Amino acid sequence: MKARISTILGLAAFAIATHVTAAEQLFLLTGSTGGTYFALGGAIGTTWNKHLAGKVQVTTQPSGASVENFKRIGKGEAHLALAMNNIAEYAWKGEGESFQDTKAIQNFRAIGVVYPEVYQGFVAADSPVASIAELKDKRVAIGPVGSGTAVISKDIFAEYGLQFSDFKPEYAGFGDAASKFKDGHIDANFGVLSVPAAAIQDVATVRKIKVLEIKGAEFDKLRAKYPFFSQFTIPAGTYGNDKDILTINMQAALYCRSDLKDDLVYELTKAFYENAAEIGAAHAAGKYISLEKALDGVTTPLHPGAVKYFQEKGIKIPAEILPR
């Protein structure tokens, strides 16, 4: 009897141990609540957990977004992250003020592009402000400390002759900033988000807004200095706007720690791109996920597991982003 009990207990312990170790426990860093990364990251995590059940268990975490995400990856605090491609470039090279304290971070690899990151800033429809250059002395939300929005805003505003000391910066997540805008506590709100951005649509149902354009000579100057910028059109009617609006975009991409196993990253890449429609049904930004555009704007090395999947699909991989 004792032997039988011992055998049963042993089998139970084995089953429990097998269950615990069978699924890789992964943490995916997203962005602030109210922003695209947070909601989209949840949809991506749900898709991975569904289609890779028993292989992975992905838990999503809010964060300050791109800059913070690479710093935390650098410290080994997470396995996966959503981030802007230009911030990935800065992190890899250790360039810019955001990475002065860490220098180059190179323990991450790219998986692939998710959607176009669109820089969107707005004021009240009846505001006299018609350009970024006219935000001097205004209360302006520029994203959380450690976010790609804050980094990019500094670069963009400089081209319009403004430093952060010229206005009253509000370092807040996009959802919090949207609430403050609705309550009249800030004059302008900027964020790097998908189109349409639910948070901006929500604001537009309460207060009429005016999206500040980036186009013409200003865009040309920015593009010459920052080649990763592209012109992006926000269609008429998106936020109550009666005509198309021109602004700029980068790319949002998935990144992972370089020490993740090749087979694991292969499975993550495959499940992500082959279930894009499912992610798109859960969040509007998912509709941009495309295998054909998976490498657009990627400038840092790919993970070997992602390379294996892309090669199977016949995707040409630029030599400069092959694993190293």
Residue by residue, DSSP assigns 252-307 as: EEEEEETTS-HHHHHHHHHHHHHTHHHHHHH-GGGGG--GGGTTTT--SPBPHHHH
Please check whether residues 226 and 258 belong to one and the same domain: no
Please check whether residues 52 and 152 belong to one and the same domain: no
Q: How far apart are CA 33 and CA 179, in angstroms?
A: 12
Q: Which one of 199, 231, 250 terminates a domain? A: 250
Sequence-distant (6+) residues with CB within 8 A of 224 are none
Please check whether residues 239 and 128 belong to one and the same domain: yes
Q: What is the pLDDT of residue 275?
A: 98
Q: What is the pLDDT of residue 58?
A: 98
Please check whether residues 227 and 274 belong to one and the same domain: no
Res. 270: pLDDT tops 60: yes
* Distance separating the N- and C-terminal Cα atoms of the chain: 58
Task: Report the chain's mean pLDDT, rounded to a whole number.
Answer: 91
Confidence of residue 17 (pLDDT cuts 50, 70, 90): very low
- Summarised one tens digit per residue, pLDDT across range 19-64 is 345 799 999 999 988 788 999 999 999 999 999 999 999 999 999 9
Sequence-distant (6+) residues with CB within 8 A of 216 are none
DSSP 243: S
Please check whether residues 137 and 181 belong to one and the same domain: yes
Sequence-distant (6+) residues with CB within 8 A of 319 are none
Of 47, 36, 42, nearest to 83 by C-alpha is 36
Three-state DSSP state, 25: strand
Average pLDDT for 252-277: 98
Q: How many CA atoms lie within 13 A of 292 on its CB side?
A: 1
Res. 3: pLDDT tops 60: no
Please check whether residues 242 and 266 belong to one and the same domain: no
Q: How far apart are CA 261 and CA 183, in angstroms?
A: 48
Q: How far apart are CA 24 and CA 56, in angstroms?
A: 4
Q: For the chain, how many structural domains are there in total? A: 2
Q: Which one of 250, 273, 291 terminates a domain? A: 250
Confidence of residue 232 (pLDDT cuts 50, 70, 90): very high
Structure tokens at 92: 């890899």
Domain that holds residue 292: 2-114+253-321
Confidence of residue 11 (pLDDT cuts 50, 70, 90): very low
Please check whether residues 108 and 138 belong to one and the same domain: no
Please check whether residues 206 and 122 belong to one and the same domain: yes
Distance of CA 99 to the CA centre of its chain: 18
Q: Which one of 191, 215, 250 terminates a domain? A: 250
Q: What is the pLDDT of residue 226?
A: 85
Alpha-carbon dihedral angle through residues 102, 104, 105, 109, given to the nearest 10 degrees:
160
Please check whether residues 29 and 102 belong to one and the same domain: yes
Average pLDDT for 210-221: 95
Q: Are 134 and 128 in contact (CB under 8 A)?
A: yes
Please check whether residues 38 and 157 belong to one and the same domain: no
Q: What are the E-state strand segments in the chain?
A: 24-29, 56-61, 80-84, 108-124, 139-141, 168-170, 188-193, 209-211, 230-234, 245-257
Please check whether residues 71 and 147 belong to one and the same domain: no
> Any idea what the CATH number is for the domain that residue 270 is in?
3.40.190.10
Q: What is the pLDDT of residue 15?
A: 38
| Burial readout 13-23 (b: 16 or more C-beta within 10 A, e: otherwise) | eeeeeeeeeee
Please check whether residues 59 and 208 belong to one and the same domain: no
What values do phi and psi take at 32, rounded to 5? -75, 150
Lowest mean pLDDT among 33-37, 120-124, 133-137, 316-320: 33-37
